[in-house]
Amino acid sequence: MEFAQILDRYQVIVNIELEKFFKRRIDDANDYFLKESYIYLKEFVLRPGKRIRPIASIMSYKSIKDKNEECIYPISIAPELLHASSLVHDDIMDEDVLRRSKKTMHRTFEEYFKKKFKDKIYKGSIFGSHSKRFSVSMAIIQGNLLYSLSFSSVLESKLDDNAKNVALKILNDGYSKTNIGQMYDLNMATGIKADQKMYVSMAMGKTASPLSAAILLGAALNEASAFQLECLERYAMPVGLAFQIQDDIMDISESMAKGRHFGSDLKRGNKTLIVLKALQHGNKKQRRDIYAVLGNGMATDSQIEKAKRAVGESGSLDYAYDYAKNCINEAKLHLKKANLSKEGYRFFSRFADYMADRKA
């Protein structure tokens, strides 16, 4: 089966598992508001997406021993639920209004509040209106619920207790490192002097760790050896780093479908590898054009276009592309040692290329 066919096949399977999982929650909800809350969660999680983390779990399971793959289907949704949890919280921190071209969770609840209740303006220490306080607070809780639900998908499975403990530890470690990476990301967006080493630490935590957890989850549940798990982790981390670099490239590429406003990372002050290298190697005018947008939430489209041009002319985009390519090459060296099935090896080799080359 070709790589694209594998993605399509298992995307359908994962979506069915997510549908079933949320249906149980919605059906069992004992009041209208809780039921509506689960409906919002279901809509958010099931928005169009590649489902790369669950598919990675399924394929890593199959790559060790190709038997009873249906066993991993209900557990494979756990990394997707954890990922969605982090996205809900990430959207709050970034003050984004769109996620996959639809309203973020806090915007959804802000609209809910305004339809149901009369809003009031006040001078709080954090919020300025009842609708803002309600919507942000509810979104935080929704993100927390998704974290809990990811664990529920494991605990409700037919795995034995030992396998459940293994799965929960992998997921918890991955989520913990994700949050640490997010802390680094927020800190780097301040006035501190960031560098490439800090960026790599951030991306390894925020982006690579949850991908690694998804891959390790499937393999561990099919009795992968300690050596195989080590090889897969060493494969997954640089692939995740390449994924983050490509995500940064997509933010300043208007033609790529990132699902939120063009140049949003620049306006928030995110010090990506591209930005760091452009500021390091760019000339005075190029640095001035970048600083005019970096951290400026009011930057105009014209200013963003100038910053984008400055980044390209500085050579930092080429540097980022090459760095991502080297990450993929490193990952494939570890993949060769993992002793996977032929199908598994072919899939994860192509998977690495896909993560660094995707356009959406």
What are the pLDDT digits (tens) for 119-149?
999 999 999 999 999 999 999 999 999 999 9
Q: Which pair of structure tokens corresponds to residue 255?
A: 């033609």
Q: What integer pLDDT is reported at residue 360 of this predicted model?
A: 63
d(CA 170, CA 178): 12
Q: What integer pLDDT is reported at residue 263 of this predicted model?
A: 72
**Continuous segment of H or E residues that includes residue 294:** none
Q: What integer pLDDT is reported at residue 251 of this predicted model?
A: 81
Distant-in-sequence contacts of 349-355, Cβ < 8 A, 24+ apart: 350/3, 351/3, 351/52, 351/56, 351/59, 351/239, 352/235, 352/239, 352/242, 352/328, 353/328, 354/3, 355/52, 355/239, 355/240, 355/242, 355/243, 355/246, 355/328
Q: Does the fold of domain 225-360 match that of domain 1-199?
A: yes
Q: What integer pLDDT is reported at residue 259 of this predicted model?
A: 45
Contacts of 70 (CB under 8 A, 6+ apart): none
Q: What integer pLDDT is reported at residue 261 of this predicted model?
A: 57
- The predicted model scores a pTM of 0.94
Please spell the DSSP secondary structure of 63-93, one letter per residue: HH--S-GGGGHHHHHHHHHHHHHHHHHHHHH
Q: Where are the chain's structural domains?
A: 1-199, 225-360
Which of 177, 171, 179 shows the shortest CA–CA distance to 217?
Answer: 171
Where residue 119 falls (left for φ over 0; alpha for ψ -120 to 50; beta otherwise) is beta
d(CA 16, CA 10): 10
CATH of domain 225-360: 1.10.600.10
Which of 212, 276, 269, 285 shows the shortest CA–CA distance to 245?
Answer: 276
Report the chain's C-alpha Rg in angstroms.
Answer: 21
Q: What integer pLDDT is reported at residue 217 of this predicted model?
A: 98
Q: What integer pLDDT is reported at residue 212 of this predicted model?
A: 98
Q: What integer pLDDT is reported at residue 264 of this predicted model?
A: 77
Q: Which residues of the chain have pLDDT under 50?
A: 256-257, 259-260
d(CA 195, CA 271): 9
Domain 1-199 falls under CATH 1.10.600.10? yes
Farthest-apart Cα atoms in the chain, separation: 62
